[in-house]
Structure 1
Amino acid sequence: MVRVNGVEVSVARLGHGPPLVLVHGAGMDGRAWQPQLKELAEEFTVVAWDEPGAGRSSDLPVGFGLADFAHCLAAVIEVLRLGSAHVAGLSWGGTVALELYRHHPELVRTLILADTYAGWKGSLPPEEVAARVEGAERMLAVPRERFDPTLPGLFAGDPPAAFVPLLDAMARDVRPETIGPQLFMMAEADERDLLPGIAVPTLLIWGECDVRSPLAVAHAFEDAIPHTELAVLPGVGHVSNIEAPDLFNRTVREFCRAYE
């Protein structure tokens, strides 16, 4: 547990070697990286946080914004004395990773952006953003006992059976007070101005069948970021690290090795 400005942040840390920081998506916590933690810890110091308001971490402070997530993540990296790290973010976590680079580029050795966005505003058509905001409002309007944080289109097909218990456990622990503000932050976020100035090697990992962040978003990143490469995982949806963990892990490992 790491304390950052009064917020307790739960962190899993495994392995030895170059640091690899994993940033989970909205409606998840650090357990979402279970398929990566042990396998990649054979070669890296792997760190996966429960962001503020998720998992075992403290509740999300009132008024916490996207930049606050980035500053909090930076403080975790500094407290753990990781130095400059490979930073991987999935979906919302990729947007947090971009914001980390905006404010603390010295802490980022490489960026790994998986099925993510330059914010919804920065990556999706306005009508799609409006539809997602409306869906988030409906989700949050129901009584707490009927609250269901499951977002549509996370997998190309059914979730992998081996991970269904994990996904169910994470869904039960989602706090409306966290996912609501996050989704509305995503609706307003636009990181496009940052992309041309990214000076570290960047890996894009995308599910070929991702409907939440379609391949067109990946290609927009590819065009905008100077030093980038794109790995498309065939037959895979939005949560690519869970749907194709072996391929995901191999792709991450090979990329990080190239920049050690």
Structure 2
Amino acid sequence: MPHNLKVTYREAGQGDEVLVLLHGFLCDARCWRPQLTGLSQNRRVVAWDAPGAGGSEDPPAPFTLVDWSHALAAFLDRIGVERAHFLGLSWGGVLAQVFCQLYAQRVRGLILADTYAGWRGSLPAETCRLRLARCEADASLPPQAMAARWTPEMFSAQASSTLWDELRPVIADFHPAGFSLMARSLAETDTTVQLAHIRAHKVPTLLIWGENDQRSSLSIARHMHAQIPHARLVVLAQAGHLSPMECPEAFNAEVHAFLCL
């Protein structure tokens, strides 16, 4: 399986400490604008476009979260990052968990935001099946129809129209093949083993959730917190699924405090 795929990325700041940002599906590095700006003082912050998203190359099928983990390791080698903190949002949080088990020596700490223990590990089997079927059907939608269909699920009811306007073009630029592969990887993944690894090795971990997350409920956050008892769980009031975009100041403050421990 090729892992040296073309990968585009954005970065800000400099320093020995590195924070790597892993976006969710239907997102890319543009969704991390507030974090690239707000967390790059005294550290290097890198936001990749995962293979199958943004300006990066589509991976071949089949492609699993193990394959994305190897692709991430190869990408980090190319940009000269040996060890880092990893902040994963939604799908990116599941990737961070798998990467941590495969490349534990490269992980200084984990921040898992509005994520899952994989869909298979966090959702009833029928819900998981329906989500995957919907994603595979929606992958054939025109770009603007895709943006109109999915944007409302990503924020709380209190989100501003400015946020909607910022996210719509990102979703409209989705890769049908990459989106389908990411959805399938979520549906096929249960990270119970990875959570046990994080717990056993006491990897420093912060969990951040939007109070009004429509896609990954607080019950999922609490279940993951129970699996990683040394982690801290922070709930951001009135935020939805993309809490780093919707509540950037509060989100960044929690991340900054964690990184400074």
Tell me, yes or no, whether TM beats 0.5.
yes
1:212 equivalent in structure 2? 215
Where does residue 84 of structure 2 map in the other structure? 85
More moved, 81-90 vs 58-67:
58-67
Q: Distance in 2 between matches of 1:160 and 1:77?
A: 35
Which residue is equivalent to 1:181? Answer: 181
- Whole-angstrom CA distance in 2 between matches of 1:141 and 1:174: 11
Q: Indicate conservation of the 8 Å contact 1:95/1:116, yes or no.
A: yes
Deviation of the 1:163 alpha carbon: 2.9
- Give the AA of the match of 1:51: A
Give the SS at the match of 1:8.
coil
Indicate the residue corresponding to 1:148 in structure 2: 146
Query: For residue 146 of structure 2, what is the amino acid of its counterpart?
Result: D
Equivalent residue for 1:12, pick from 10, 16, 22: 10
Q: Relative to structure 2, which stretch is displaced further, 71-80 or 201-210?
A: 71-80
Cα pair 1:197 1:225 within 8 Å, conserved? no
Deviation at 1:176, TM superposition (A): 0.8
Q: CA deviation at 1:158?
A: 5.3
Query: How far, CA to CA, are the matches of 1:161 and 1:39 in structure 2?
Result: 22
Task: Please report the RMSD computed on the Cα atoms of aligned residues, expressed in angstroms.
Answer: 1.8
Structure-2 residue corresponding to 1:64: 63
Cα 1:83/1:31, change in 2 over 3 Å: same
Distance 1:174-1:145 versus aligned 2 partners, 3 A rule:
closer
Q: CA deviation at 1:147?
A: 5.3
How many residue pairs end up in the alignment? 254
Residue 242 (structure 2) aligned to one of 239, 242, 245: 239
More displaced stretch, 51-60 vs 111-120:
51-60
What is the deviation of 1:130?
2.2
Helix, strand or coil for the counterpart of 1:7? Answer: coil
CA 1:129–1:84 in 2, change beyond 3 Å: closer, same or farther?
same
Quote the sequence identity (%).
Answer: 40
Q: Which stretch of the first structure deviates more once superposed, 130-139 or 44-53?
A: 130-139
In 1: Cα distance, 2:183 partner to 2:40 partner = 31
Deviation at 1:82, TM superposition (A): 2.2
- Which whole-Å CA distance do the structure 2 matches of 1:170 and 1:145 have between them? 10
Q: Quick one: which of 238, 250, 253 aligns to 1:250? A: 253
CA deviation map 1:72-98 (0-9, x unaligned): 111222222222211000000000111
Residues 1:83 and 1:175: Cα distance change in structure 2 (over 3 Å): same
Q: Segments of 4+ in structure 1 off by > 4 A?
A: 144-147
Q: Is the alpha carbon distance of 1:10 and 1:146 closer, same or farther for their aligned partners in structure 2, counting shifts above 3 Å?
A: closer
In the alignment, which residue of structure 1 is the partner of 2:165?
A: 165
Contact 2:4 2:71 in 1 (8 A): no
SS in structure 2 at match of 1:59: coil
Structure 1 residues 224 and 5 mapped into 2: Cα distance closer, same or farther (>3 Å)? closer
Rounded to whole Å, the distance in 1 between the matches of 2:40 and 2:109 is 17
Q: Which stretches in structure 2 are left out of the alignment for 5+ residues?
A: none
The answer to whether 1:48 aligns with 2:51 is no
**Deviation readout 1:240-259 (Å, 9 max, x if unpaired):** 0011000000000000100x
The answer on whether the counterparts of 1:29 and 1:170 sit within 8 Å (CA) in structure 2 is yes
Contact 2:143–2:173 under 8 Å retained in 1: no
Instruction: Provide the TM-score with structure 2 as the length reference.
Output: 0.91
Structure 1 alignment gaps of length 5 or more: none
CA pair 117-5 structure 1, distance change in 2 beyond 3 A: closer
